[in-house]
Structure 1
């Protein structure tokens, strides 16, 4: 019967696969830890760290320590109660083995284990265990020291400290001795993640771990967090403890040089909401009452940037969620009402400020604690518990109204209201100016830089702008391009490094301002993607070190002031060739290559096929050395050219990289270069 099914292209029950236990995690790791790149490696640390933090939130831990070992392992220690070591009645195994080998097991699904917790699905620690070559745990509890080891989630014993040591499967938690006098209870976990389950080159981002510890220390002020880095033979320790909590976090997040226009406003409160939830038997119950604790700190500064960080049960929600929605509704309602009631603040028939105006210059931290939070994914980037919106809105709105009406704070509140109204007026003025100058080509009379070589097409979808390095390349590109839809803008050498400059300095720079002017969509907060004059923007620089630097500087400009262009996938870099390989005789061939390794391979292949290669092989030192046909065939013809699309998958990670590589601080960049030197592939360097 099976043969008949195969012959008909069908499948039967024998073709179905049932993944048991932790097999599902190893088969589809991205589903449980978000991704299999460096972010996934970092997520493993977060899962273990969040368990220790939950002990601190519950009032049972005062210290959490993360150690990065030289062998690539990560260790997390806390002085909490310790994972339960007694035998679980239903499963017949210890609590330690239960939470580390069974999905959806833990103390966070109800009962008295935790009132609030960052854990929701019960797959965190067990997922880390499943993806680890070795996983060791030590629990100090009930006067005894308990230990257990695992390989890929299977309990057993290692013949030595090496993660590659011989392993014997063996269930059960071992008691290795009594606790010493004065020892505190707690849990210590050390794991070695298995690189086979991750992408090549995926490594732990130490800066992300440091940021995680720092953020958590702000949110849990009673707990001291410590990062110990012993990877390089030296002990590098950093301690994070902030007794003032979110107030300290606002001070830390406020941009340098941004002078505060009011004191930090701290909002705390508790509210209830109702939601449908399952009881301990899995039966869905309607209108279950929940309680949420809200803590918000905010203040306004003289600057223009906004920084709003959101957390739920100490877990950072990079994409916000229902708590941010409630916060935004509250500030809009409270402040709009106050502005309307303030005599003389708004002109007659003047439009009231919108959310963007209110958030200009604001630094805020939103933290909610709630039982059984709902997130949009296992990585918990966005809170989706609907009832939190109204709870947070009510608490924040009430506190803001009290602040606006209090005699002691009325004067600083008036300064904030005036700042918001001024921001709204600036926005409306800029909008009017942009509407007046909306999408005109040079042929239609718009004032454009004289060096722009525009295209004839007025349709945005097909048109593309090449930002060309140097006037010599411009001459060749002018002859090579299709003037119907390809425009050219030459730049002179290396533009300003905008990561080190202010907005005004960027606009004062001739090359940067020309790019902004030609694109016609503004910059920074006023950037309007719909007003972009070209469908694609391509950076075309020489294939050498200087060309790479110019591309980096231009990408930095777009990432900082025109990020929506990158997010829409409309920024590219052209990939010009380095060599032109030509054969002699009948049916001559012309092949363009892009690296030294590739040209050697192509020459060897042609010679092996009996073809004679013209020597010396021409090498293009710059775009200007190509003739028009060569430049069109290799770099500008959409049908055959190779281009790289610039993307931003993780905005925060991209911002950290830009600040590290292009920012003002030299010391972190020097350390990164030294640490990363061993990762360079010498064969790929075109020296």
Structure 2
């Protein structure tokens, strides 16, 4: 990494730079007002607020390195090498400036123009809100050759005053916080969610290095991009086929504003524009995006007119951006956003500035690069032709008034309530399932739309071809919100719950992914608004004795079986009968281990059998977690598993390769090879916190394995005796399964209307998965790879993950 020079005038950033506006009283009462929600999005917003403060230091030229760490105890810390929060006594508050910043809302250097010229946190609530919503909070400051420390508890109450610890040669700030479990729905940070945002920030701030480490699982990544937003465009476009290799770049600035822009076109149909203001993502666009769109469209039309290419009228803004991938990053002194969520820029003067600067740039660029300009114009003219061909079809899909409702699809069984907030649309597969759903539904609030066959793969289709597909047309008409940038209006959506309800077989899975691709590419605002769901119909109908139940997963099937066993067996250990409560405790231990083993195996992409084998290896050989030597570990594994050929190998991160990273992370794996198959486990399996947690659940069960166990059905003969607990459990489970009737549902049409209502459509008993977008760029890359034209990547993915398939339908 090249050294990025940082300024060293931290002495000017003192208590007098901190402006105080109000206290923190309301934050804990109404946290959603400050961080958006108390769900996962709000939880991760805490980290972003702290990181944004460090990035503000980088924007000012005072910081070039940020380190984010997720700790095993649930905390998250952020460290930077900036100037450090001021530590002297505040002139009006009479406590340290550190305490003012951390306990007063709207207190910070962001309200002092001399401290930060550009800042993302316009409202300045950042780190004080994080403190208010944390059960424990620690700050360490390295400033002016001294180290300072202070602790807070229970939502921002200082344990003691800021304390000087001693001398130091470091400079910067370290903040560690524990999200308050009484406020947040969950307090478990997601490594991938944080990684996506930190990668974004590294792209946007050329010369800033950002490291993230997850100590729970032994994962770490480092981001540093010499190319800035040009590298960002290459990253977004990594899985596409670019029309030209060069990334178009522009940088303009004056004493007040900075505009950075980069773009590239591909042979696809979707537009991807990512805009930022002072490093804050403006997902809803705003005046800066309006200025860019105007500049690009005018420049393209001017060039096309000179080439006498406008036979069918001028190129529209949408036509100009088909297959466009671009990043627009501006910096302005006082951004005006719509609320603290900062999703849309409102500064009216910015449109004219961006329009003027980028129009001048594009005009010159297209003149100097006519080959690239002609390719872009040709792409736009093809889009124009398709738009004209699709215009009639699109008009038919627009939502009509109540007087014109007769144009709704004939196969749509609509509901009688017209309030979208109360109504639900079920998209079902075929007439068979549609018939059951129509008969079983609540006709007042639930509408049914059966699809006949598979819809078109929109990843490979232009708009005109897509709109000629009858299933797509019916879907758009039924939803009512329109389609395309020029006509989509989420306010016109006729349902606020759109439910994909397909069969549990391979065809159902294919239809589901085709529908998800359609919604992601052409109705993404519905996903972002939380309107899209996937129904979870039961996989099994189970009968055991007099009990009958619908179950959705193998884990639920196991739990049902264990509960029945507890009620119907007598269990002995060393010839002593176990009381019912003791049996219940024992089976709870075993079930907890099995449940966690199932989740654990899925997370690390390993079969349950192989995970159990490795955990037994660690337990039986006393392999020390986090204290192994790689080669010594390999030798131990070879001795323990003679049936496998075991090797230590290296592999580049699939996620990083998919994301087009210039320097993908290299991970170490241990490969286990048999005659007909092989499987891998990451080396950090043997040192991760998750492995240790599951192992701790296995150990008490293994300890019981040394005793002599026997069991029998109540009032029946003994089935097994004098065996270890693990073998005994296998025998009990086998017996239970032999007495259990299991019906596996492949199609919704196999259920009668009453069953479908009770299991899948009744609001009181059903289970839905809500479709969300955690990382839009990664989602785009996966859709491109798995649903696009690149057969090679799709084949590699299938081969790599084939051994995880269960219940394969052939």
1:141 equivalent to 2:143? Answer yes
Q: Structure 2 CA distance, aligned partners of 1:112 and 1:457? A: 60
Give the alignment's TM-score, normalised by structure 1: 0.69
2:269 to 304, 307, 310: 304
Counting only pairs closer than 5 Å after superposition, residues 204-283 of structure 1 correspond to structure 2 as 204-232=189-217, 234=218, 236-261=219-244, 263-271=246-254
CA distance, structure 2, for counterparts of residue 379 and residue 651 of structure 1: 17
Q: Distance between the aligned counterparts of 2:85 and 2:462, measured in 1?
A: 56
CA distance in 2, matches of 1:439, 1:114: 48
User: Which secondary structure state, in structure 1, belongs to the residue aligned with residue 347 of structure 2?
Assistant: coil
Q: Distance in 2 between matches of 1:304 and 1:557?
A: 13
TM-superposition CA deviations, 1:558-579 (whole Å, max 9, x none):
4335526945988666676887
SS state of the match for residue 222, structure 1?
coil
What are the Cα deviations for residues 436-465 of structure 1, in whole angstroms up to 9, with x where unaligned?
A: 89999xxxxxxxxxxx99469999989998
Equivalent residue number for residue 388 of structure 2: 428
| 1:220-619 to 2 correspondences below 5 Å | 220-232=205-217, 234=218, 236-261=219-244, 263-271=246-254, 291-340=256-305, 342-347=306-311, 350-406=312-368, 409-432=369-392, 454=411, 468-469=428-429, 473=433, 489=450, 502-504=459-461, 515-516=471-472, 518-519=474-475, 539-541=500-502, 549=509, 552-553=512-513, 555-563=515-523, 566=526
What's the offset of the Cα at 1:266? Answer: 2.1
Contact 2:89 2:97 in 1 (8 A): yes
Q: How far apart are 1:142 and its partner, in Å?
A: 1.4
Aligned-partner Cα distance in 1 for 2:195–2:413: 52
Q: Judging changes above 3 Å, is the alpha-carbon distance between structure 1 residues 82 and 626 closer, same or farther for their aligned structure 2 residues?
A: closer
Q: Is the 8 A contact 1:216 1:314 kept in 2?
A: yes
State the Cα distance separating 1:263 from its structure 2 match.
Answer: 2.9
Structure 1 residue 310: Cα displacement: 1.1
1:68 corresponds, among 64, 67, 70, to: 70
In structure 2, C-alpha distance between the alignment counterparts of 1:337 and 1:346, rounded to whole Å? 10
Give the match's secondary structure for 2:95. coil
Return closer, same or farther for 1:654/1:176 CA change in 2, 3 Å cut-off. Answer: same
> How far apart are the structure 1 equivalents of 2:229 and 2:148?
37
* 1:431–1:464 CA distance, 2 compared to 1 (3 A): farther
User: How far 1:37 moved relative to its partner?
Assistant: 0.7
Contact kept, 8 Å, 2:542 with 2:551, in 1: the verdict is no
Contact persistence 1:373–1:385 (CA under 8 A): yes
Per-residue CA distance 1:209-262 (angstroms, 9 max, x = gap): 112221211222122111122223x3x332211122122112112251322337
Work out the CA distance in 2 between the residues paired with 1:93 and 1:240. 38
The worse-fitting range, judged by mean Cα deviation, of 655-664 and 378-387 is 655-664
Equivalence for 2:154: 152
**Whole-angstrom CA distance in 1 between matches of 2:98 and 2:424:** 60
- Structure 1 residue 197 displacement after superposition: 1.0
Partners of 1:533 and 1:313 in 2: CA distance: 33
Equivalent position to 1:174, from 158, 163, 166: 163
TM-superposed deviation, 1:49: 0.7
Q: Greater CA deviation, 139-148 or 207-216?
A: 207-216
Q: 1:138 to 1:537 in 2, by over 3 A?
A: closer
Q: Secondary structure at the match of 1:26?
A: coil
Distance across 2 between alignment mates of 1:130 and 1:637:
40
Note the C-alpha offset of 1:548: 8.2
> Which has the larger helix fraction?
2
Match of 1:126 among 128, 142, 149: 128
2:28 aligned counterpart, secondary structure = helix
Q: Could you say what secondary structure the match of 1:25 adopts?
A: coil
The answer for the alignment partner of 1:93 in structure 2 is 95
Cα deviation 1:107-126 (Å, max 9, x = unaligned): 11124212222222221000
Q: Distance in 1 between matches of 2:486 and 2:764?
A: 29
Q: Which stretch of the first structure deviates more once superposed, 414-423 or 47-56?
A: 414-423
Q: Residues 204 and 334 of structure 1: is their aligned pair in 2 closer, same or farther, counting only changes over 3 Å?
A: same
| Residue of structure 1 in register with 2:181 after alignment | 195
| Counterpart-to-counterpart distance in 1, 2:761 and 2:221 | 54
State how many pairs are aligned.
569
2-structure distance, mates of 1:243, 1:293 = 19
Instruction: Work out whether residues 240 and 266 of structure 2, in 8 Å CA contact, stay in contact via their aligned partners in 1.
Output: no
Q: Structure 1 residues 458, 64: closer, same or farther in 2, change over 3 A?
A: closer
In structure 1, how many angstroms separate the alpha carbons of the residues matched to 2:57 and 2:353?
Answer: 26
The DSSP-based 3-state class of the residue aligned with 1:32 is helix
CA contact (8 A) 1:569 1:645 kept: no
**Distance 1:426-1:547 versus aligned 2 partners, 3 A rule:** closer
Which whole-Å deviations, capped at 9, do the CAs of 1:370-394 have from their partners, x for residues lacking one? Answer: 2122221213222222221211111
Separation (CA, whole Å) in 2 of partners of 1:215 and 1:247: 12
> Aligned partners of 1:387, 1:187: CA distance in 2, in Å?
36
* SS of the residue 1:108 aligns to: helix
Residues 465 and 489, structure 1, Cα contact 8 Å, conserved in 2: no
> What SS class does the counterpart of residue 257 from structure 2 fall into?
strand
Deviation of 1:336 (Å):
2.4
Determine if contact 1:66/1:76 at 8 Å carries over to the other structure.
yes
Q: 1:599-648 CA deviation, whole Å, 9 max, x = no partner?
A: 99xx9xxxxxxxxxxxx9997946445556x469758999x998778865
Q: Deviations over 1:494-518 (max 9, x none)?
A: x6996xx942599999xx9673365
Unaligned runs of 5+ in 2: 1-21, 401-408, 565-739, 787-792, 802-810
Aligned to 1:166: none
For the 8 Å contact 1:572–1:644, the answer to whether it is kept is: no
What secondary structure sits across from 1:398 in the alignment? helix
Q: Provide TM-score, normalisation by structure 2.
A: 0.59
Question: Which segments of 5 or more consecutive residues in structure 1 lack a partner in the other structure?
Answer: 1-19, 157-168, 273-290, 441-451, 585-590, 604-615, 673-687
Q: Which has the higher contact order (CA 8 A, sep 6+)?
A: 2
Whether contact under 8 Å (2:84, 2:142) holds in the other structure is yes
Contact between 1:268 and 1:295, CA under 8 Å: does it hold in 2?
yes
In structure 2, distance between residues paired with 1:26 and 1:47 = 16
How big is the shift at 1:54? 1.4
SS at match of 1:196: coil
CA distance in 1, matches of 2:357, 2:536: 55
Per-residue Cα deviation, 1:305-327 (whole angstroms, up to 9, x for no partner):
22211111122222222211211
**8 A contact 2:455–2:515 mirrored in 1:** no
